[in-house]
Structure 1
Amino acid sequence: MTESTPVGTASDEPAGEDLKRLAEMHGVSTEYWDYHGNRAAPSRATLVAVLAALGVAAATDAQIEASLADAELAPWKRILPPTVVRRQGWEAPVALHIPHGAQVTVRVELESGGSVELEQAEDWERPREVDGVLTGRASFRVPGDLPLGWHTLVAEIEAVEDRPATTATAALAMTPDRLDLPASLGERGWGVMAQLYSARSADSWGIGDADDLTELASFLGDEGADFLLINPLHAAEPSGRMTPSPYLPVTRRFVNPIYIRPEAIPEMTRLSGPRRSLIQWSLEELAATNRTVDPIDRDSIWQLKRDALEVVFSAGRSRSRRRDFERFRAEAGEGLERFALWCALTEKHGEMAGWPEALKDPSSAVVADEARALTDRIDFYAWLQWIVDEQLARAQEQAKASGMALGIMDDLAVGVHARGADVWSEPEAFAPGIEVGAPPDMYNQLGQNWSQPPWSPVYLAETAFQPLRDMVRTVLRHAGALRVDHIIGLFRLWWIPKGMGAASGAYVRYDHEAMVGVVLLEAHRAGAVIIGEDLGTVEPWARDYLAGRGVLGTSVLWFEKQGDGWPLQPQDYRRLALSTVNTHDLPPTAGYLADEHVALRERLGLLADPVEQVRAEASMERDRMIERLREHRLLGADPSEREIVEALHRYIARTPSALIGVALVDCVGERRTQNQPGTDQEYPNWRIPLADSSGEPVLIEDLPGNTRSASLFQAIRQEMGQRRTPRD
């Protein structure tokens, strides 16, 4: 190991000890281990910028001294913490800060009604002088047998001397200690991972949609699969250029209506012949693209599909359908109304960066005037969310009806677009002047900047984690499982001050006990399983913590290595994990075996090490894997590409992992990468339609007769000893 060395491109001046202490007090890590195994430290400039985003002044020695004093007294200046999160089954105290000598009683008002008085616990903390008042600390036991849910802590403080009686409240979340796998899954299960936009049928509008999702899930369920993991369906820009990446949405709470199948909307029956023809003409214009392997053009697709949806919307709704729509809007609440308003404003004024300043404040009178003028457009965008919600509900219903134990497994992106609906609707929820990314690693040696603003940990606590609660609850409406991308973001995120390089960041810690607890509470209420994408630099204790809470990890065969660099033996994989051969950020297995991950990065100038060295490392990795497969008698002397792909999947099926995932691209022999990290316009990320090893398009209707997928599914079933046989 080496000594601490600053990293970054903005300024390499090291931070002083007082600045480091201040940073640590606010959850900013002042050192970390880089991917070479060396100790690294953020520069002074980085720490000052990150603290500023947290509302902490630290540009001068005087500011640092004052901020240190403020941080020491901050907990003593409020009676109760803003939010208290506890685990069911664990008794834990909550501390109050009250005038010294005052009498106080504390109770919990339960979410379901009624209340529970709390007992006081011993607390020997000495009183402190706070703003001229001698303030003491009192602790009360929060019993572990409180029901799961969101409750309210109420503290009533009697008058003392010249100070009147006071009542303080705080949110109290009682969360599950751990989630258990559903009994319907049995000991283990397997499923398929697909990019929904790429999985098209003959009737698609040039892009996979909710109807395709329904058909694909039904087919896979008949094949014995227990889940279908899809890319995030989060909403993108409603007009203009649509960001291709599903991991850079304008909101994580609502869905991209490009996934609607217009013909499946009940109101289609209300259309006259000529108006129905308008929709048919739009469909015919796009239908031919289903049979090409050209990159998917979301902008053209959405323009035609939106025009068709406008026609259906204008047809009106029956009395019962109007009532259903109104109920949906009422349940979604203010969040949906603000999102629909943002869509209408974007449609009228273009990208948010070009809006008049008055429109950038959602609470301004100008915005209120615009909302009144745009009522019809707000209704339209709210209606789109209702329609896509109905179609996704049907997909989950059919997935479960086909025999899937979990059904649809949704994916949750790590953040949102800096100029999107979430940031406009609730700007105070995000840290200003900061973008999220990742420090350099083996596959991204310059680091990554995902151009996403992080949530403010201070705001989350002050609002009882409402943004997190609303988001997870909505995403889990029609899913049996949720993959949380970069789940370590519930523990810490790599904050990059704007204007600095991706390597010039610092880790900012979040209250992981609260964040994970909130996610588990919503998952428990939805009856869902949580899978955390925990690849990359993750401390072992974090993985152990998540496993202890019943959260599955993620294991990718190419990343699972022994200490000597050889592939991890199957029996050494984690039990609580979703194990796969590859991931969407790597080429499909056929392409990986051909070193496409090296060739593509070389063409795009993304390699920090000499290409010869990277090729040699890839060759050694592949040779060792082949040798491991032969050791387990999964390969012969001269295997074909298809035999190697199946052997790799048999290998992971022999692990004890609770879930085994098979990429749809591997089922059909696709070789092209879906996404190359570190690129934007240089590569057609997130726009590659499904194709086979010959470069021919593969539609959902083609899958039942696809010999390669049938053989791979059979191999998985054999290795896992699956008793349920595929349906005819």
Structure 2
Amino acid sequence: MTTALEDEELSRLAGLHGVATSYSPSPDRTVAVSASAVVAALAALGVDAGTPDAVRTALAARERELRERLLPPTVVRWAGAGGPPDAVAALPPGTRLRVETEEGEERDGTEGLPAGVHRVSATAPDGRTGHAHLIVAPDRLPALATRSYGLLVQLYSLLSRRSWGMGDLGDLAELADWAGRTAGAGFVQVNPLHAAVPGAPTDPSPYRPSSRRFPDPVHLRIEEIPEFAHIEHPEDRARVRALLERAERLRTDVLDKGAHIDRDAVWELKREALELVVRVPLGPGRQAAYDAFRAEEGQALEDHATWCALAERHGSDWQLWPEELRDPRSAETARARAELAGRVDFHARLAWLTDGRLRAVQRTAREAGMPVGIVHDLAVGVHPGGADAWAQQDHFAVGMSVGAPPDAFNARGQDWGLPPWRPDRLAASGHAPYRHLLRALFRYAGALRIDHVMGLFRLWWVPRGSPPTEGTYVRYDADAMLALLALEASRAGTVVIGEDLGTVEPGVRETLQRHGVLGTSVLWFERDWEGDGRPLPPERWRADCLATATTHDLPPTAARLTGEHVDLRDRLGLLARPASEEHAEATADTAEWLALLGSLGLLDRPAAGPPGSDEEAEIQGVYRFLLRTPAHLIGVWLPDGVGDRRPQNLPGTWDQYPNWRLPIADAGGRPVTLEELTAAPRLRDLLDVLRERLGPPGA
């Protein structure tokens, strides 16, 4: 049994390393985390707290380190802030400062520096020295030039009669071109397009990728690659014809026979086609562009392509590879990279091709009149066996997984199976992996949605082998993370949207808003929680947000209105109460919202029956309501335009439900092609509501 003094010492040690010893699931409740969770989190940060003696030794060492150091690893200077950063102001009088800017210029002091990530060196009068990364960033991120609405869609679900069994970048370009030119839409938001971990089967979730920095070539439209048209060898042309026939069968299986989207089968075909494409020599200009891409991406691209090549030989979990290959900097890995140079080049070429098409899609969206264009999604983490976890393993916390603590919606908490970045290693590197990740995504994003944006402040770490209830929060340098976000977004002119749904600690939303990060508001969750709990009237919604009726993790609006989402959960055994009680509560909830819509005159005609009895009019009323709010962005869930009932992802299920594998379908469950979508009277009527009524906030 530990003594009160030992508990206090562990708490102090934890606090000095950003590890929480308690958390508040609600304003009126504080929960202590277990000592074992704290000890495990500290161990993952390289701090031994396994015994009382170890705690005292580590505490003394940390206090001495903080007392003696001149500068923390990373210092932030916000543009327009009066006076020097706090860390600089706290330096002993007479300390000399030298700054090396990003451009290599040497300067004295920190005044008048350009935006960027610089290196600062301090020399105190007593001879002590210190070094830090100095982030100089604009105080706010880019703002929207105009209010707009847009479409939300999971790209794989958007099949055309040209795609190979799942939606691709050709389909995305067509949708953006149509929506911008004919429907007045300002953006299209898609799921993360990060590189997936190959497997049998591949994890279909786009939120558990192999790499967040590099996109997945499965999204390529093969016929749009310039070299595809120059495959000339008769044997290769015959293989192309065979691949196109197999692709047509895959597409037909999904669209006409009710099969689920089979990402692995699609990738098998595209990989074979890409093997033929890369045999075609690049022209001089294309070769120069590819060489420039490889030079710009440098070691990160080499590592990603090397992981892909090694995964073909040894499997897709690097933790199971021969030990000498688990280190990306080992001599054996260098030999393997040289031996597999052809495969490394193949995967680097695919990254270049995909990056180029993503940029082209954004150009198409802007040329179609969209003020924003494509909104890309940044997942909260990566697969532990994937490319990023291998290449950046010194930045990841060993033995830890990201999740969420128990709350009102999930009493057992959540474990997402994603290794967290170590905040100390991030700070020591000037947050280099994060900075380069943002820069890569901003190249082709009109806006970026950050999943679980609260992770910029803290993440719930779960020790491997423990339930999510046995985790604890670990803090990150939110000031540095936000400064880099502002810096890179400003350089690219990109808007940022933070997914801030669920439990958010006090002050986080206010900090994000102050720096210009938009939030996310979903209609069914917007109630007066501090008052009578009734639906929040439109004028009381926040302005700095993307307002939507639903998300990929929630029921489509038609299912919510008709109560079919309760039936689905009942069929899968996911209800904690009798179905009759769940239905009664869901019906009452929906009726309250429809009553508010009716009182505001947002329904074309009064509902003649229970919720869902005039489904199309009610869905239009829901989006009219969103237009009444001051929200800067209004998001339309594209499946709502055809009455789709099925959520794309049903949390709490794995093989019980086809998560991430459903094409957009109509009210009867029949898959709907992109061509049919754009011609559907129901979707056109819904978008007419938004196009005609979109005006100043609150109009």
Q: State the SS of the aligned residue for 1:228.
A: strand
Q: Which deviations, in whole Å up to 9, do the C-alpha atoms of 1:359-404 show, x marking residues without a partner?
A: 1111111111111110000000000011111111111111000000
Structure 1 counterpart of 2:500, from 527, 531, 534:
534
2:267 paired with 1:308? no
Q: Which deviations, in whole Å up to 9, do the C-alpha atoms of 1:563-594 show, x marking residues without a partner?
A: 32211110111110000001110011111223
2:151 paired with 1:147? no
- Residue 278 of structure 1: aligned partner: 239
2:300 paired with 1:338? no
What is the letter of the counterpart of residue 44 of structure 2? A
Deviation at 1:157, TM superposition (A): 5.1
Q: State the SS of the aligned residue for 2:272.
A: helix
> In 2, are the aligned partners of 1:457 and 1:511 still within 8 Å (CA)?
yes
Deviation at 1:450, TM superposition (A): 0.6
Write the distance in 1 (CA, Å) between the matches of 2:77 and 2:92: 27
Using the TM superposition, name which of 360-369 and 73-82 deviates more. Answer: 73-82
- Residue 295 of structure 1: aligned partner: 260
Deviation at 1:225, TM superposition (A): 0.6
Equivalent runs, 1:118-517 vs 2, <5 Å = 118=109, 142-143=110-111, 145-156=112-123, 168-183=130-145, 186=146, 188-222=147-181, 223-238=183-198, 240-272=200-232, 273-290=234-251, 291-292=255-256, 293-352=258-317, 353-517=319-483
Using the TM superposition, name which of 33-42 and 339-348 deviates more. Answer: 33-42
What is the letter of the counterpart of residue 524 of structure 2? W
> In 2, are the aligned partners of 1:14 and 1:43 still within 8 Å (CA)?
no
Q: State the SS of the aligned residue for 2:195.
A: coil
Deviation at 1:51, TM superposition (A): 1.6
Deviation at 1:609, TM superposition (A): 5.2
- Residue 671 of structure 1: aligned partner: 645
Deviation at 1:281, TM superposition (A): 1.8
TM-score (norm 2): 0.93
CA distance 1:339–1:514, change in 2 (3 Å): same
Write the distance in 2 (CA, Å) between the matches of 1:624 and 1:350: 53
> In 1, are the aligned partners of 2:194 and 2:215 still within 8 Å (CA)?
yes
> In 1, are the aligned partners of 2:325 and 2:333 still within 8 Å (CA)?
yes
CA distance 1:671–1:466, change in 2 (3 Å): same
What is the letter of the counterpart of residue 215 of structure 1? E
> In 1, are the aligned partners of 2:152 and 2:188 still within 8 Å (CA)?
yes
2:57 paired with 1:66? yes
Deviation at 1:703, TM superposition (A): 2.5
What is the letter of the counterpart of residue 70 of structure 1? A
Deviation at 1:111, TM superposition (A): 2.5
Equivalent runs, 1:654-669 vs 2, <5 Å = 654-669=628-643
Q: State the SS of the aligned residue for 1:253.
A: strand
> In 1, are the aligned partners of 2:560 and 2:590 still within 8 Å (CA)?
no
Structure 2 counterpart of 1:93, from 82, 85, 94:
85
Deviation at 1:722, TM superposition (A): 8.2
Q: State the SS of the aligned residue for 2:76.
A: strand
RMSD across aligned positions (CA)? 2.3
Q: State the SS of the aligned residue for 1:314.
A: coil
Q: State the SS of the aligned residue for 1:335.
A: helix
What is the letter of the counterpart of residue 236 of structure 1? A
> In 2, are the aligned partners of 1:329 and 1:382 still within 8 Å (CA)?
yes
- Residue 565 of structure 1: aligned partner: 533
CA distance 1:663–1:421, change in 2 (3 Å): same
> In 1, are the aligned partners of 2:76 and 2:85 still within 8 Å (CA)?
no
Identity %: 46
- Residue 125 of structure 1: aligned partner: none
Deviation at 1:332, TM superposition (A): 0.9
Deviation at 1:286, TM superposition (A): 2.3
Deviation at 1:241, TM superposition (A): 2.8
Structure 1 counterpart of 2:617, from 633, 637, 643:
643
What is the letter of the counterpart of residue 175 of structure 1? A
Write the distance in 1 (CA, Å) between the matches of 2:671 and 2:90: 69
- Residue 14 of structure 2: aligned partner: 23
Write the distance in 1 (CA, Å) between the matches of 2:166 and 2:284: 32
Structure 1 counterpart of 2:546, from 566, 578, 581:
578
Write the distance in 2 (CA, Å) between the matches of 1:146 and 1:301: 50
Q: State the SS of the aligned residue for 1:76.
A: helix
Write the distance in 1 (CA, Å) between the matches of 2:27 and 2:566: 20
Equivalent runs, 1:676-691 vs 2, <5 Å = 676-691=650-665
Deviation at 1:149, TM superposition (A): 1.0
Write the distance in 1 (CA, Å) between the matches of 2:671 and 2:85: 60
Deviation at 1:519, TM superposition (A): 1.1
Deviation at 1:194, TM superposition (A): 0.6
Using the TM superposition, name which of 361-370 and 599-608 deviates more. Answer: 599-608
Structure 2 counterpart of 1:588, from 514, 533, 556:
556
CA distance 1:643–1:624, change in 2 (3 Å): same
> In 2, are the aligned partners of 1:649 and 1:716 still within 8 Å (CA)?
yes
What is the letter of the counterpart of residue 234 of structure 1? H
Deviation at 1:92, TM superposition (A): 2.8
CA distance 1:167–1:63, change in 2 (3 Å): closer
- Residue 138 of structure 1: aligned partner: none
Write the distance in 1 (CA, Å) between the matches of 2:445 and 2:197: 24
Q: State the SS of the aligned residue for 2:310.
A: helix
Write the distance in 1 (CA, Å) between the matches of 2:401 and 2:113: 39
Q: Identify unmatched segments of 5+ residues in structure 2.
A: none
CA distance 1:569–1:516, change in 2 (3 Å): same
- Residue 630 of structure 1: aligned partner: 598
Write the distance in 1 (CA, Å) between the matches of 2:671 and 2:89: 66
Q: Which deviations, in whole Å up to 9, do the C-alpha atoms of 1:319-349 show, x marking residues without a partner?
A: 2222211111111110000000000000111
Deviation at 1:48, TM superposition (A): 1.4
> In 2, are the aligned partners of 1:671 and 1:693 still within 8 Å (CA)?
yes
CA distance 1:610–1:518, change in 2 (3 Å): farther
Write the distance in 2 (CA, Å) between the matches of 1:282 and 1:696: 26
Q: Which deviations, in whole Å up to 9, do the C-alpha atoms of 1:62-84 show, x marking residues without a partner?
A: 12222221221222343432221
- Residue 129 of structure 1: aligned partner: none
> In 1, are the aligned partners of 2:185 and 2:691 still within 8 Å (CA)?
no
What is the letter of the counterpart of residue 139 of structure 2? D
What is the letter of the counterpart of residue 549 of structure 1? H
Write the distance in 1 (CA, Å) between the matches of 2:90 and 2:417: 43
Using the TM superposition, name which of 272-281 and 502-511 deviates more. Answer: 272-281
Q: State the SS of the aligned residue for 1:574.
A: coil
Using the TM superposition, name which of 438-447 and 325-334 deviates more. Answer: 438-447
> In 1, are the aligned partners of 2:80 and 2:139 still within 8 Å (CA)?
yes
- Residue 34 of structure 1: aligned partner: 25
Write the distance in 1 (CA, Å) between the matches of 2:24 and 2:665: 40
> In 2, are the aligned partners of 1:196 and 1:208 still within 8 Å (CA)?
yes
What is the letter of the counterpart of residue 117 of structure 2? W
- Residue 567 of structure 2: aligned partner: 599
> In 2, are the aligned partners of 1:88 and 1:147 still within 8 Å (CA)?
no
Write the distance in 2 (CA, Å) between the matches of 1:264 and 1:706: 27
> In 2, are the aligned partners of 1:444 and 1:678 still within 8 Å (CA)?
no
Q: Which deviations, in whole Å up to 9, do the C-alpha atoms of 1:264-316 show, x marking residues without a partner?
A: 11112321154233223212212244323421111111111100110111122
Q: Which deviations, in whole Å up to 9, do the C-alpha atoms of 1:34-83 show, x marking residues without a partner?
A: 26953212112211111211222222211222222122122234343222
> In 2, are the aligned partners of 1:675 and 1:686 still within 8 Å (CA)?
yes
Q: State the SS of the aligned residue for 1:92.
A: coil
2:76 paired with 1:109? no
Q: Which deviations, in whole Å up to 9, do the C-alpha atoms of 1:523-553 show, x marking residues without a partner?
A: 1111000000000001241101111001100
Deviation at 1:605, TM superposition (A): 4.1
**How many residues are treated as equivalent by the alignment?**
678
